[in-house]
Structure 1
């Protein structure tokens, strides 16, 4: 049974948070509010899904939290680091060392093997993983037998698992996933989502996933819902039916408003 209340009582470490965040595009009469005073905390070691109707601001929120877009007002933190106001150089360093990304497009380099793609961000940052961590990540994503294959020799699900391993390898404080199963069939989607859930529960990784799919959201520990640039609810221990029901309610409320 899903609950529409926060789980809670024990103290929770916050991996990322937004404080009164607003984001506007355009100026004057053409100005559009993508986010309107959003406050949200993303708990460390938790798999959080962000959902909402098209244009609700869910991708904008993720981009602001990850330092990919600037907020118009408010504050954004990753751990104890305040992201808004960082210079381009500081943001680059933040994204290299403290944040991981998984996108709908796998963004793998075709000339590199799976292993080389996985290790690329660490190599760029001048680091190397411990053998124990490398082996643990590879075992988790089930790619031990495919490390020397190039992307064209891998299925879509395998390519996305390479992208997931790449995001995990630097051991970032938080991984942001933008529609990570959007290009996958149902079987491959389930494999990737199960991996993300396992990463949070067994590896302690913080995952934040933007999705439009109630079934995908049901793999998370918590779903946060946006509408018209504002957070309008959340569910913990979600099921696909509970998420779908909430989305229907939001759609009705949005139309009435």
Structure 2
């Protein structure tokens, strides 16, 4: 809920979702449907005005600013559309930055696995300006995974990529779920990107209206075409 009085906007309404460990979940919906707000609430970036959010066994309500910062640092990974890499650091330094800030060293075996999986071993000493968009996003993916977080939140991770680079990043995310048991929650507007997920949750007007399991791109596209009808049906208007 944002604002007050006549300017008050309810971004999410009675949303209740359980995101299972080791699963790839996509969140979709029209512009303004609340999908980014939902992700921000789940990740502890926004505070809910009602209800409860938990990551693993940790309830976010009541955590201090320091507690939220620690939770986001230790239990959550983030991948954004804009990559958010520091231009003066090498790929390796960008990947290790969250651990460096926390005063921690990477697990050598896990770090090696992540680097091998994203295929960046020969590019670790290059700066972002020397990397393609797809390579930069794979650096961001490695950065999100290197601390072995409880969950990785990805906000339109392929939005700035061409189709080939996007497929490489999505394939890596899929691989990290299938082979490493990583939990991923991704906001996307792209039916093809959503088809990499195990489950797609559809929002409209701040409410969950339906979901798909083991989605195909065609099934996601057809559901998006019917989203207004599904929302009206849920509200009892048809």
2:147 matched residue in structure 1: 170
Report whether the alignment pairs 1:76 with 2:45.
no
Which residue of 1 is the match for residue 14 of structure 2?
A: 37
Matches within 5 A, 1:121-132: 121-132=98-109
Match of 1:208 in 2: 185
Structure number with the higher strand fraction is 1
Task: Judge conservation of contact 2:209–2:230 (CA < 8 Å) in 1.
Answer: no
Alignment of 1:48-127 (within 5 A): 48-127=25-104
The alignment's TM-score, normalised by the length of structure 2, stands at: 0.96
Partner deviation per Cα, 1:112-134 (whole Å, 9 max, x = no partner):
10000000001111111121111
Contact 2:209 2:231 (C-alpha < 8 Å) held by counterparts = no
1:105-254 correspondence runs (5 A): 105-254=82-231
SS in 1 for 2:78: strand
SS at match of 1:231: strand
Return the TM-score normalized by structure 1: 0.89
Note if contact 2:210-2:230 (Cα within 8 Å) is conserved in structure 1.
no
Q: Deviations over 1:20-75 (max 9, x none)?
A: xxxx1111111111000110011101110000111110000000000000101000
| Count of residue correspondences | 234
Structure 1 unaligned blocks of 5 or more:
1-23
Structure 2: which 5+ runs fail to align?
none
Distance 1:155 1:252 in 2: 41
How do 1:12-31 residues align onto structure 2 when only pairs under 5 Å count? 24-31=1-8
Structure 1 contact 137–169 (Cα < 8 Å) conserved: yes
RMSD over aligned Cα, in angstroms?
1.1
| CA deviation profile, 1:181-202 (whole Å, cap 9, x unmatched) | 0000000000000000001001
CA distance in 1, matches of 2:115, 2:211: 33
Which whole-Å deviations, capped at 9, do the CAs of 1:87-123 have from their partners, x for residues lacking one?
1110000000000000001000111100000000011
